[in-house]
Structure 1
Amino acid sequence: MSIDLEKKSESAFDSHSLEGATTKEEDTYDAAFHFVKQNHLDTLELSQQDSAKVVRKVDFHILPLLCGIYFLQFLDKSLLNYAAAMGIKKNLVGNEFANLSTIFYAAYIFGEPIVAYCLQRFPLSKILGLFIVCWGIVVACHAACDTYASLMVVRTLLGLFESSSAVGLIFISGMFYTKPQQAARMGIWSVMAGTATIVGGLLSFGFQHVRTERFLSWQILFLFMGIITSLFGVFVSFYLPDNVTSARFLDHDEKLIILENVRSNQTGTKSKKFKKSQIKELLFHDKLTWPFFLLTITSQIVTGAIGTFSVTITLSFGFDSYESALLQLPVGALIIIIILAATQLVARYGHITYFMASMFVPTIVGCIVLLSTNLTSQRVGNLLAMYLLYSGSSCITLIYTWISANTAGTSKKLFRSVMTMIAFSVACIIGPQLFQAYSAPGYRPAKITLLVTQIACIPISFWVGYICKKENEKRDSEPKSDAPENYEFLDLTDIQNRNFRYTY
Structure 2
Amino acid sequence: MLVTAAWYRKYEHASRVGLWSACVGIANIIGGAIAYGCVAGLEVHPNMQFTSWKILALCTGLISVVYGVCMFFFLADSVVTARWLSNEDRTLAVERLRSNHQGVGSTQYKTYQLREAWLKYRTWTYVLFVLVTQIPSAGLVLLNSILVKSLGFDTKTTLLLSMPGGLVNIMANFGFGLLADRTHKRLLACIIATLVSIFGAALFIGLGNVSPLHARIGQLVGYFLMSGTSSTAWFLIISLMSSNVLGYTKKTSSNAIVFTAQGLAYFVGPLCFTDGPYYHKAKIMTLAMWIGALLLLATMWVLNWQENSRRDSEMTEKGVSEHAASELAFHDLTDKENKGFRYVT
Q: How many angstroms does 1:485 deviate by?
A: 8.9
Q: How many angstroms does 1:414 deviate by?
A: 1.5
User: What is residue 313 of structure 1 aligned with on the other side?
Assistant: 147
User: What is residue 179 of structure 1 aligned with on the other side?
Assistant: 10
Distance 1:363 1:187 in 2: 16
Equivalent in 162, 186, 189 of residue 352 of structure 1: 186
1:46-445 superposed matches below 5 A: 170-211=1-42, 213-284=48-119, 286-372=120-206, 373=208, 374-390=211-227, 391-436=229-274, 439-445=275-281
Change beyond 3 A, Cα 1:385–1:484: closer
Contact 1:287/1:467 (8 A) holds in 2: no
Cα RMSD of the aligned pairs, angstroms, is 1.7
Distance 2:309 2:205 in 1: 44
Q: How many angstroms does 1:263 deviate by?
A: 0.9
Contact 2:148/2:158 (8 A) holds in 1: yes
Q: How many angstroms does 1:480 deviate by?
A: 4.9
Contact 2:328/2:340 (8 A) holds in 1: no
Contact 1:267/1:489 (8 A) holds in 2: yes
2:220 is paired with a residue whose SS is helix
Equivalent in 318, 321, 328 of residue 487 of structure 1: 328
Q: What 5-or-longer segments of structure 1 have no aligned partner?
A: 1-169
Q: What is the identity percentage for the equivalent residue pairs of Structure 1 and Structure 2?
A: 29
1:174 is paired with a residue whose SS is helix
Q: How many angstroms does 1:404 deviate by?
A: 0.9
Change beyond 3 A, Cα 1:357–1:426: same
Distance 1:242 1:333 in 2: 31
Q: How many angstroms does 1:456 deviate by?
A: 1.0
Distance 1:215 1:226 in 2: 15
* Deviates further, 211-220 or 476-485: 476-485
Contact 2:191/2:233 (8 A) holds in 1: no
The one-character-per-residue Cα deviations of 1:231-251 (angstroms, maximum 9, x if unpaired) are: 112211211113212211111
Contact 1:267/1:491 (8 A) holds in 2: yes
Q: How many angstroms does 1:419 deviate by?
A: 2.4
Distance 1:327 1:434 in 2: 23
2:80 is paired with a residue whose SS is helix
Distance 2:197 2:69 in 1: 39
User: What is residue 473 of structure 1 aligned with on the other side?
Assistant: 309
Q: How many angstroms does 1:388 deviate by?
A: 1.9
Contact 1:370/1:386 (8 A) holds in 2: yes
Contact 1:269/1:410 (8 A) holds in 2: no
Q: How many angstroms does 1:427 deviate by?
A: 2.1
Distance 2:319 2:28 in 1: 50
Question: Given the two structures, how large is their TM-score scaled by the length of structure 1?
Answer: 0.63
Distance 1:195 1:292 in 2: 27
Q: What 5-or-longer segments of structure 2 have no aligned partner?
A: none
Question: Given the two structures, how large is their TM-score scaled by the length of structure 2?
Answer: 0.91
Q: How many angstroms does 1:494 deviate by?
A: 0.8
How many residue pairs get aligned? The number is 332
Distance 2:282 2:325 in 1: 55
Q: Does 1:460 align with 2:301?
A: no
User: What is residue 343 of structure 2 aligned with on the other side?
Assistant: 502
Q: In structure 2, give the amino acid aligned to 1:204.
A: A
